[in-house]
Amino acid sequence: MHIECKIKELGLDLPQPAKPVANYVPAVRTGNLVFVSGHGPRRPDGGLITGKVGREMTIEQGQEAAQRVALGLLGSLKGEIGDLDRVRRVVKLLGMVNAIESFTDHPKVINGASDLLVKLFGERGKHARSAVGMGSLPFNIPVEIEMVVEVEG
């Protein structure tokens, strides 16, 4: 089944790539690898989701935000490669969680992104991953994630 059909089947939408707010690009391809810049969570209307996990956001809300980030990453990836069915493997995620100092469940939050990628890509969606806590993130977003993907030549 086509990846974009699976996204719709899950009741989700693939957003258009966000325009960079500084001197960088959403994704860079080198050989068969695509490096997708760090993305934050956006609402369907394009506005940012904000809040610190453990204070304004629960783990479950953080997971939903991480899932929104994964959709944004895939939107930027599609903008770079044209067709998400060209993904051979999701290689690596770096997930950063804006959380209170005593919060220790960062991996649970990033599972929102990881679980979606595995639902969409199956075995090809299983990836290496880091999930780390941050004292703050830009614009007070709860999650920022970057991704490396291998694509067909």
pLDDT at 2: 94
DSSP string, 55-119: TTB-HHHHHHHHHHHHHHHHHHHHHHHS-GGGEEEEEEEEEEEEB-TT---HHHHHHHHHHHHHH
Indicate if the pLDDT at residue 121 is higher than 90.
yes
Q: Encode pLDDT of 3-27 as tens digits.
A: 999 999 999 999 988 788 889 999 9
Q: Encode pLDDT of 35-93 as tens digits.
A: 999 999 999 888 999 999 999 999 999 999 999 999 999 999 999 999 999 999 999 99
Q: How confident is the model at residue 1 (pLDDT cuts 50, 70, 90)?
A: low
Residue ranges and CATH numbers for the domains of the chain are 3-18+27-151 (3.30.1330.40)
Task: Provide mean pLDDT across the span 120-125.
Answer: 98
